[in-house]
Structure formats: C-alpha cells, structure tokens
Structure 1
Amino acid sequence: MANRPDAAELPTSSDLPDSPIHTTGTDHLTIVGSNAEDTIAFYRDLLGMPLVMQEPNHDDPDSTHLFFDAGDGRILTFFVGDRTSDPRPIRPTPGSASRRGRRPTVSYRTDTSHTPMTATFELYRDSADEWRWRLRHSNGNVVADSGEGYASKAKAKQGIRSVKSNAPDAEIEEV
C-alpha cells in the first residue's frame, strides 16, 4: 500500500473515461431501513415521496423492498425488515465512510411552495382602546406584533396588509 497515490493526486475530469461500459444515470439507490411503517411514515407521509411499489426482497424473503419516487424521475428504495423503531443512529463499522467523523448522506431538494402558513394574524383592542395586531405561530408563540396602537380597525388592517405582502397566506382573526 506504500505505492498507493494520495486522493488529492488522483486526476479528476468530467470527460467520459475510455471504458467498455458507460452509465447513463442512476436508476435507483437502495438503503437498508428499519421497518416498513417507520420508513413509509418518513418518506411518504413527511417528505411527500409517493410509494410507487412494494415487493418482497428477492434476495432475502424475510424483508420487503419499498420503492419511492424521489420527485425527479429517480427512485429511492429501501430494504426493510421488522426491526423496532430506535431513534439512535446505526453506528458505522470500522473502515466505513463514516470514520473520521463523516456519515453517509442522502440529500433531497424540496419544494416548500405548497407548505401551508402556520401563523395567524390576531386583531384586537388593547387596554387603551386602540386596535393592534399580532402574528401568532401555530405553536402559540407571537412572532410579530404591530408595535403600536391604531385609532381605527381599518388602519390596523392596513398595517396587516402591509405585513401580508411578506406572509401572503396568513389569516386575520379577531380575538
């Protein structure tokens, strides 16, 4: 191994190498998952990837092969068994890509344009009988407020309209 070149010395190029076979892209990537329920809950129900096929793992009849559409024509698949849920990460084996602190990673591009607004404008009268607004997140936290009282409800709503240009889907609710 003393003659093995350092990775920094290896030539890199986007030109096709002179090889007998040339790939045209990735058909699918397969990952080992814990169980079907958790895998489907995460990839279909949370990330929004359609589960397009499910079949037995032909190499291991005790596990299932799940196929998810990753959103760009590529498929992400999982071999899953009946391992119980465990939030702790699976520890890498010595010599894997994870030594020296790196972990194998799959990254996804996401589209958040359809994510529903999770805040509501509240319109109310304060103790000085002035109109105010606040923007309350669905978790109960106030994330913005008018900072001042308005003499009329119409003026307070005008202030909300100004803010809504940056939060177009927020609702107005009198409390």
Structure 2
Amino acid sequence: MKKLFYIGALSTLLLAACGEEAAPKEKDTTQSVQAEAEKSKTLTVGDTAEFKDAKFTLKAVSTTDARNEFDETKPNQVIKIEYELENLAKDELSYGMDLTVYDGAGNKMESYALDNSMGAVASGKKVQGVQHFGIMEGGKIEIHYAPIISFDDAAVFEVEVK
C-alpha cells in the first residue's frame, strides 16, 4: 500500500513539474506575438520608428506644384516628404535612398528629381531631410523606411494624399 502511495505522489510531482515548464513557454509566445504586433503597427505623420542604427520621424507629407522640366514621367501629383533622421550607430549613416513609396493603387513610385536630401549624418547627430515622389493614384499612400544597409523590416507609414 505504501508503495502505491509513493508511486501516486511521485506521479503527481512529475506532472506538476511538467506543468510549470509549459507555463513560461506560453508566456514567451504571448510576449513574442505582442512584440510582432508592435513592430507591424502602421504609423502616420508625426510618428517615429526606431531601428538598431537609426531613429526616423515622419514630419510632414504635402503635395507640391513644383515640377522638374526634364522629367518624362509626368506624374499626376508630386509629394514632398519631410523627415528627421537620427544616427544611433557608431559610424556615419547614409540617407537619401532609404524611402520607398506606394501610391493609392499599390504601385511602387519612383523618386522625383527635385530638391532631395542625400548624404551621410555623423554618429549621434540628426538631419532634417526632404524627398519627393511622383504619385499616379492619390488616396492613402504607404511610405516605407528602413536604413539603407539594414536587415530590419521597414517601418510603414500610411498617409492620405488629396
């Protein structure tokens, strides 16, 4: 009888130990899902996306009547994107080729040749940048930013263009 009691008690302890190991894994999974949800959050004007080597803030998006007389694409609209970029890396951070824009129909748009910022910013410093894009379809556009030399997923900003 004692033998049966010890076997039952040992079984209960083993099951309890297995249950304790499973609980943290569930918690880790939940935290991982929450982290992914935060990472994939869609941003808008005024929001900041932070990366390992950079902090990017979308300051403003506006349309402009300015046109490049030599441009042959003839977009329906030209937008001006104003941003602040802070270098968090130890080395200089290049900028000016790190934005991708999709118009209201989901088409990838090309940079438009106006007064666009391009260069490098020193470690620990900030730059106020400007980039222009030709837009074929207005509506809600997406602006994707990721540092030029990075394996990070891009931050996605959604902006209504009228």
Structure with more of its chain in helix, by fraction: 2
Same fold (TM over 0.5): no
TM-score (norm. length: structure 2): 0.22
Q: Which has the larger radius of gyration?
A: 1
Structure with more of its chain in strand, by fraction: 2
Greater RCO, CA 8 A, separation 6+ = 2
